[in-house]
Amino acid sequence: MIDVKHLTKWYGRVLAVDDISFHVDKGMIVGFLGPNGAGKSTTLKILTCYQPATRGKVTIAGHDVLTESLEVRSDIGYMPEAVPLYPEMRVNELLMFRAALRDIPPAQRQTAIDRVAERCWLSKPDNVMRRRVGELSRGYKQRVGLAEAMLHNPPVLVLDEPTIGLDPNQIRAMRELIQELGADHTIILSSHILAEVEQTCGDIIVIAGGRIVAAGTTEALRKKVGTAAQITAELKGAEPPELAKAVAGLEGVQRVDHSPIGGWTRLTLKCDDKADRRAEVYRLVSEKGWQLRELRSTVGTLEDFFVQVTYEQNMQTAQRMAQ
């Protein structure tokens, strides 16, 4: 559905996107992550025909974004981070105007508007459809922007920070809506909220320094976190220092912290690699005759992975520039 090959973008002497390639299949919900200045927004603008690439090729649903931009625009619904709206128009008027620009037949325009207004919470309870856009809060403007992107029911949706300005209940509803839309649309979702991407997207692309530094499922990326393994255990049967000293003697355990918790002792183990050493802890507890209430391994988070790979790429970029 979306195919990007060797995409490169220069702004004068500044390299914003550096020879990136990726593919998104039909029906996928892909999170597009990157720190500020990583080239994320530039890539999205090229995908949506807002600006040309310096080199490379991008196709959407089989259409080239450079030579078949009108066809691409008809296949894409784009919601930018700063949604461009006409503040003097009422919401219903604005959507009717956008429907005309999208060549939706006159007899079908109101039906399309009613559909997106219902899905984007514009009809109830405040019925903002009759209000002027300039009077709306940031959250409602985001909803109007999403409604615009969905108006012509495109097969591809590109959403840049879609939850900015929404309250927690609206964010949850937006996540559910995006997951629901994934049944009928291919979606690229850009966001700085890592937990949101982790809960919404099946696959993730991480870009830093203009390059793709990681891509894959959220579960696969979490497993790549290059930090020491951590195990939490809650024990009873000896004084906390004795418990901690015994566990610290196990192979591969670098550090043990202990704290009391309701008559039990919670131990936090830092290990020297990503191996699961819970079996060794369990055998020790059984040999000592201690009681065990909890034994779990802490999985690396998407935030850990994001910080790790973007830091490494930024350091490499700084070294290249210094040479």
Residue 243's domain is classified under what CATH number?
Answer: 3.30.70.1340
Q: What is the secondary structure of 3-29 as a DSSP string?
A: EEEEEEEEETTEEEEEEEEEEE-TT-E
User: DSSP letter at 301?
Assistant: P
Residues 182 and 261 in one domain: no
Single-letter residue type at 14: V
Write down which residue in 222, 253, 272 finishes a domain.
Answer: 222
Q: Are residues 218 and 236 in the same domain?
A: no
Q: Is there a single domain that holds both residue 197 and residue 274?
A: no
Query: For residue 44, which of 61, 20, 14 has the smallest C-alpha distance?
Result: 20
Nearest to 192 by CA among 302, 66, 118, 90: 302
Residues 18 and 95 in one domain: yes
* pLDDT in the model for residue 226: 53
Residues 196 and 255 placed together within one structural domain of the fold: no
Domain assignment present for residue 115? The answer is yes
- pLDDT the model gives residue 322: 58
179-217 pLDDT, tens digit per residue, is 888 888 999 998 877 777 888 898 999 888 889 988 888
**Are 116 and 171 within one domain?**
yes
Q: What is the pLDDT of residues 46-95, one digit of tens each?
A: 999 999 999 999 999 999 999 999 999 999 999 988 888 999 999 999 99
3-state secondary structure at position 95: helix
Alpha-carbon distance of 131 to 266, in angstroms, equals 56
Domain boundary among 191, 222, 253: 222
Instruction: Report which residue type is found at 105.
Output: P
Indicate whether 234 belongs to any domain. yes
Do residues 250 and 134 share a domain?
Answer: no
Indicate whether this model's pTM tops 0.85: no
Residue 308 maps to a domain: no
Q: Domain of 131: which CATH number?
A: 3.40.50.300
Would residue 216 count as lying in a domain? yes
Mark whether 293 and 188 lie in a shared domain. Answer: no
The answer to whether residue 176 sits within a structural domain is yes
pLDDT of the residue at 33: 86
Instruction: Let me know if residue 323 belongs to a domain.
Output: no
Mapping DSSP to helix (H, G, I), strand (E, B) and coil, where does residue 216 land? strand
261/212 same-domain check: no
Tokens for 12?
Answer: 């004068």
Which of 169, 204, 222 represents a domain boundary (last residue)? 222
User: 91-101 burial, b if ≥16 CB within 10 A, otherwise e?
Assistant: bbebbbebbee
**pLDDT value of position 102:** 92
Do 113 and 48 belong to one domain? yes
User: Domain check: are 293 and 207 in the same one?
Assistant: no
The answer to whether residue 313 sits within a structural domain is no
Among the listed residues 32, 282, 6, 29, the one whose alpha carbon sits nearest the alpha carbon of residue 157: 29
In 16-164, alpha helices (H): 40-47, 69-75, 91-101, 106-119, 138-150
Longest dimension (CA), the chain: 79
Number of domains in the chain: 2
Decide if 316 is inside a domain: no
What range does the domain containing 277 cover?
Answer: 230-298
* Residues in the chain where the model's pLDDT stays below 50: none
Q: And the tokens for 180?
A: 């629901």
User: How far is 27 from 25, CA to CA, in rounded Å?
Assistant: 6
CB proximity list for 186: less than 8 A, separation 6 or greater:
1, 2, 24, 25, 26, 27, 28, 155, 156, 157
Pair 55, 98 in one domain: yes
